[in-house]
Structure 1
Amino acid sequence: MINEVTDGLLSSASGQVGDVSANEADAPLPPSLASRREQMFPKLTPAEINRLRRFGTVHTWQPGEILFDPSMRGAGMFVLLSGRILTTRKNGLGIEIPIVESGPGNFAGEVGQLSGRPPLAYGRALEVVEALVIDPPSLRAVVVAEAELGERIMRALILRRMGLIETGGGGPLLIGAPGSAGMVRLQGFLSRNGHPHLVLDPALDSVAEEVVKLHQPRSNELPLVVCPDGTVLKDPTERELARYLGLYVDLSPDRVYDVAIVGAGPAGLACAVYAASEGLSVLVLDTHAFGGQAGASARIENYLGFPTGISGQALAGRAYVQALKFGAEMVVPVEVMSLDCSRFPRALQLDCGGQVLAKTVVIATGAKYRRPGIPELEKYEGRGVYYWASPIEAALCGQEEVVLVGGGNAAGQAIVFLASHAAHVHHLIRGSDLAKSMSKYLIDRIGLLANVTLYTESEIVAIEGCDEGVSGVQWHNRKDGSKQTKSIRRIFLFVGADPNTDWLENCGVNVNDKGFVCTGIDLSPVDDARSTHLKNEHHPLSLETSVPGVFAIGDARASSTKRVAAAVGEGAAVVAQVHNWLASHETVPAQATEHDKSLGRLN
């Protein structure tokens, strides 16, 4: 993902970079980065360092002292004034590997330091070291205030994360059978959140085999995860893993944000970028990873400005880094269980038992994958049944026949992607043709693929398999009743989605009969009549829900156009409405009146 993200972020970058030569202690770079060493490790001029002094403080370390390591909260960026440091990474087996030796004019840090996440590397003083330490808030100020210099710094920080991802540096070891449900789940979580990791198969790797023998996990305790500090986790949840890796951030129950965005898909990320860039305090919460369903798209080819297409992960990755750059706080994974609109500020109850407070709330939770009525479907989820087609799943399809169900654009993009990996793609749709639900450019492209067969008016009626996974699929034609059975191990389901709005129950936010959030003109006359009884005769704005100060954007909104570009547009547009609401409610009382509580609304 970061490869694609970086290519886009850096394609227009310019500026002079100081000469850098590889030190003997420097690790060789991955082939994709070998030509970018100077961009990864630029040397700042004395004049540039002087410009940075106002953003940081000077500290001194003695030989052998640690400047930073993964057990510390991220201190930010270290600009070396004198002396030399060695930056290394460790894998879960405790093996220390050099990354780079740095001297005066160089700086240490990577993109995670924009948010103060724990470092993914170790920095040790080789001699007496004096360095300018620029903490995360000041680092974000640097990349905004110092346009050309900030661009070079951002480029280096992103490329360094890219290098760590390609080598697995600073990340955990995942040990288990490739393609197993647990392995795919954790690989997907780390990959979509841009965190480095390595995958080892104990059947092929002797070190992994020894780790399994040492810890003797039961079958339901695989995969094993060996964290960089040596801690071994047995089939952890995403949150357990995130906590050990420092990805999960504990939230203060007392801080009040200007805006809390629930959902980090394209709409939520766009809202975060624009709101944070305009000075609002922004919190973004998501249950799994930034990017939402769009983040799982193999390639989006009709998004403005990308004539050759862009993957959903790359697009989401760019937005994620932009949001961090402007100071938005991102917390993954965390689930919002409910929203309390009877008080001000609004309270969001989290699945971890805590809560966060915000003056305004933006609902951007999108939709959840729809499950067709196939017997025992849930038994095979993650074990041969998938709801997206990322490189992780595609790698499991090498020279196999697969089944894909669905007739929308997401299905079309997945077919094109999977066709380059699988021996054959059997494409099932319930309708009589694709024209009603898929863009013409995708229909034309699929029609030219020799290893794709379309089955119209067809649906899966049975899945065969065992605990290890799917072994066969049976489908029938609804028109003529004919049936086909294939020995197939991978099924991809793209049969639409339902709004992810269950958490809004009983909070006063109106949804339609299908569960999508009503905003603006979608609200019934009764809702609008209620608003006229409130102080200032408040009428809902176009993206505002039935509860003042609570907005909805993207796929979760009733009248939205279900397209990535439309979601991004709504994410940008809602910020103006949030500003409008905040400006007109600067003196909102700390508690709602009893009358407002009964309506689920505020003055």
Structure 2
Amino acid sequence: MRWPPELGETPDPQGAYPRLSDAQLQALAPHGERRRIRQDEILYAEGLPCTEFFAILAGEVATVEGFGTDDQVIGVHGAGRFLGELNVLTGQVSFVTGVVAKDGEVLAVPAGALRRLVAGDLALGDLILRAYLIRRTMLIGLGAGFRIIGSRFSADSRRLREFAARNRLPHRWIDLEQDEEAERFLRSMSVTPQETPVVIWRGETVLRNPSNAELARAIGLSAPQVQETRCDLLVIGAGPAGLAAAVYGASEGLTTMVLDDVATGGQAGTSSRIENYLGFPSGISGGELAERAAIQAGKFGARFHVPTQACGLHLNAGDHIVTVGEGGTIRTRTLIIATGVRYRRLDVGNLERFEPTSIYYAATMFEAQMCERDPIVVVGGGNSAGQAALFLARYAARVRLLVREDALSRNMSRYLAVEIERHPRIQIMLNTEVRELMGEEKLAAVVAENNVTGERSTIEARAMFIFIGAEPYTAWLADEIALDPRGYILTGADATRSGKEGTPDFVGRPFPLETSRAGVFAAGDVRSGSVKRVAAAVGEGAMAVRLVHDYLQAGE
């Protein structure tokens, strides 16, 4: 491409492009090689893994989206800056291309060596990780990456968009209902309506109505491809408890695998901001917390497989055998179940009719964009509902918070309740329950009833967000381990009292987080009696790994 002479280095108001100090460059030098670069040389390409970390010593390098077709320059970087974003650490493919704009020199460090350096050098690691997190957010905001083309009324379109959003994958949504050119393009490619949505990657039709797993493989998220895999510790669920277990398991020498059927972060990952997590006085988004934890676990050697769904559990020759969605099996010496909970659905007659287009159980940027400048309803009186209402109020035309109880502070943290009560764009409706949903293809209004007076009112709403409690994700366990009447996993003394066959009966067993099956532990929200807080889940994940070691030593 042609580089205009006035092209200069991109400003850095967000801190996305810090410069490496001389000391940091010296620390990197023994692990890489100095390399001359020439104008128009490609250092890494969109759609391919980035296997090297590049620090610019001289010259300039541009990051370009759609290189060779649209040539959209995102940024230009000179001496002292470094290239790449989260994909360098996670192994995902590149979402942009790095092209040399002016002759110079770079220090090229293999990605594996960089991950080890990030783990050992706190200052360097924090600098790179912070910059990479900001850059990923910028790419998402710019709509870089792959394209999802489909109908806003399609359940599969929403599935793919949610998967991309939950995994923080840069992409752009193109609505066939509004973009006639996109519809003509699909017809020219002989794409039938039944084959939509379509994923476009690097200017080509890559996938027609793909599964989440197919999309994941296309952009470098790994899922088990072998018929049988073996490990010391298998963690099922990548929420706070599962991520903590992965960090401590891998860092303490156990070959550790982590499965999740949607994305890392669990329900916490859908939170726009966690205000009361220790060590983050200004709060942290669930997505960023999950990304940081996954990178931390990965640097110790934990292997993540997302999306991969656990479908069954049984015992064979002393090992725990977990079957996964695509027909494979994983054999493990120990197992930590951290599958968490799924939000409960509202008991209203025509809910399923509107779920593909207008009903949501999370409040992330994806959902905010879906309802921007629309009137919405949030149902629930707990912290999740409160956090969602505050976040969505930045984007929606107005927010009505429907609470069944007679006081907002009944089930919500006081600091959160006060903030909501003061917000000018949130209307609180106490003693209120949803009775009916109205609309054609999309939600138009909600009929609500005051549960004290019986008075009904019709509330205009284009979307409804439901946060009314949760149910444990344990159906896949069938009758293999003991559960309480609500489906949560029994552990410790409660597992002993269950009388479930196979429960360890040795002195001191089962361990506090051990289930009715020896060597299988539960942590986080899925465990009966757990404290439903992020910090508590993290603590249980770490504690479960300590108990895994005790179990393995007892068996030696």
Q: TM-score, normalised by structure 1?
A: 0.80
The answer to whether residue 14 in structure 2 is matched with residue 38 in structure 1 is no
Residue in structure 2 matched with residue 516 of structure 1 by the alignment: 488
The answer to whether residue 275 in structure 2 is matched with residue 275 in structure 1 is no
- The DSSP-based 3-state class of the residue aligned with 1:279 is coil
Match of 1:479 among 452, 463, 472: 452
Q: TM-score, normalised by structure 2?
A: 0.86
Q: In structure 1, what is the Cα distance between the partners aligned to 2:25 and 2:450?
A: 73
Aligned runs of 1:453-492 on 2, under 5 Å? Answer: 453-466=427-440, 468-492=441-465
Residue in structure 1 matched with residue 161 of structure 2 by the alignment: 187
Q: In structure 1, what is the Cα distance between the partners aligned to 2:41 and 2:488?
A: 56
Quickly say closer, same or farther: Cα 1:177–1:92, change in 2 above 3 A: farther
Quickly say closer, same or farther: Cα 1:70–1:360, change in 2 above 3 A: farther
Residue in structure 1 matched with residue 387 of structure 2 by the alignment: 413
CA contact (8 A) 1:255 1:356 kept: yes
Aligned runs of 1:157-236 on 2, under 5 Å? Answer: 157-169=132-144, 171-176=145-150, 181-201=155-175, 208=182, 210-215=184-189, 217-219=191-193, 221-228=195-202, 230-236=204-210
Q: In structure 2, what is the Cα distance between the partners aligned to 1:518 and 1:376?
A: 35
Match of 2:221 among 232, 239, 247: 247
Amino acid at match of 1:38: P
Quickly say closer, same or farther: Cα 1:184–1:25, change in 2 above 3 A: farther
Residue in structure 1 matched with residue 531 of structure 2 by the alignment: 561
Residue in structure 2 matched with residue 333 of structure 1 by the alignment: 307
Q: In structure 1, what is the Cα distance between the partners aligned to 2:120 and 2:473?
A: 38
Quickly say closer, same or farther: Cα 1:559–1:88, change in 2 above 3 A: same
CA contact (8 A) 2:198 2:205 kept: no
- The DSSP-based 3-state class of the residue aligned with 2:443 is strand
Residue in structure 2 matched with residue 501 of structure 1 by the alignment: 474
Structure 1 residue 437: Cα displacement: 1.6
CA contact (8 A) 2:151 2:197 kept: yes
Structure 1 residue 455: Cα displacement: 3.3
Q: In structure 1, what is the Cα distance between the partners aligned to 2:550 and 2:166?
A: 34
Quickly say closer, same or farther: Cα 1:399–1:52, change in 2 above 3 A: closer
Quickly say closer, same or farther: Cα 1:88–1:434, change in 2 above 3 A: closer
Q: In structure 1, what is the Cα distance between the partners aligned to 2:372 and 2:91?
A: 40
Q: In structure 2, what is the Cα distance between the partners aligned to 1:441 and 1:393?
A: 24
Structure 1 residue 165: Cα displacement: 3.2
Match of 1:116 among 91, 104, 109: 91
Q: In structure 1, what is the Cα distance between the partners aligned to 2:335 and 2:92?
A: 25
Residue in structure 1 matched with residue 120 of structure 2 by the alignment: 145
- The DSSP-based 3-state class of the residue aligned with 1:38 is coil
Structure 1 residue 351: Cα displacement: 0.4
The answer to whether residue 343 in structure 2 is matched with residue 380 in structure 1 is no
Aligned CA RMSD, in angstroms, stands at 3.7
Match of 1:370 among 344, 364, 388: 344
The answer to whether residue 551 in structure 2 is matched with residue 551 in structure 1 is no
Quickly say closer, same or farther: Cα 1:106–1:443, change in 2 above 3 A: closer
Residue in structure 2 matched with residue 595 of structure 1 by the alignment: none
Residue in structure 2 matched with residue 601 of structure 1 by the alignment: none
Q: In structure 2, what is the Cα distance between the partners aligned to 1:26 and 1:309?
A: 38
Q: In structure 1, what is the Cα distance between the partners aligned to 2:436 and 2:218?
A: 40
Structure 1 residue 36: Cα displacement: 4.2
CA contact (8 A) 2:403 2:432 kept: yes
Q: In structure 2, what is the Cα distance between the partners aligned to 1:580 and 1:74?
A: 40
The answer to whether residue 303 in structure 2 is matched with residue 320 in structure 1 is no
Structure 1 residue 436: Cα displacement: 3.1
Uncovered stretches (5+) of structure 1, i.e. residues with no partner? 1-21, 587-603
CA contact (8 A) 1:76 1:116 kept: no
- The DSSP-based 3-state class of the residue aligned with 1:51 is helix
Structure 1 residue 210: Cα displacement: 4.8
CA contact (8 A) 1:184 1:392 kept: no
Q: In structure 2, what is the Cα distance between the partners aligned to 1:262 and 1:219?
A: 36
Q: In structure 2, what is the Cα distance between the partners aligned to 1:116 and 1:311?
A: 23
Q: In structure 1, what is the Cα distance between the partners aligned to 2:216 and 2:426?
A: 39
The answer to whether residue 509 in structure 2 is matched with residue 539 in structure 1 is yes
The answer to whether residue 134 in structure 2 is matched with residue 134 in structure 1 is no
Q: In structure 2, what is the Cα distance between the partners aligned to 1:427 and 1:114?
A: 40
Structure 1 residue 381: Cα displacement: 0.8
Structure 1 residue 263: Cα displacement: 0.8
Residue in structure 1 matched with residue 259 of structure 2 by the alignment: 285
Amino acid at match of 2:542: A
The Cα offsets for residues 145-176 of structure 1, whole Å up to 9 and x where unpaired, read as 3344444444454454444334344x102234
Q: Which moved more, 1:150-159 or 1:391-400?
A: 150-159
More strand by share: 2
State the identity %.
37
Q: In structure 1, what is the Cα distance between the partners aligned to 2:259 and 2:504?
A: 32
The Cα offsets for residues 219-245 of structure 1, whole Å up to 9 and x where unpaired, read as 554443211262243443322221222
Residue in structure 2 matched with residue 9 of structure 1 by the alignment: none
CA contact (8 A) 2:9 2:77 kept: no
CA contact (8 A) 1:30 1:167 kept: no
Uncovered stretches (5+) of structure 2, i.e. residues with no partner? none
Q: In structure 2, what is the Cα distance between the partners aligned to 1:327 and 1:552?
A: 22
Amino acid at match of 1:523: A
Aligned runs of 1:394-433 on 2, under 5 Å? Answer: 394-433=368-407
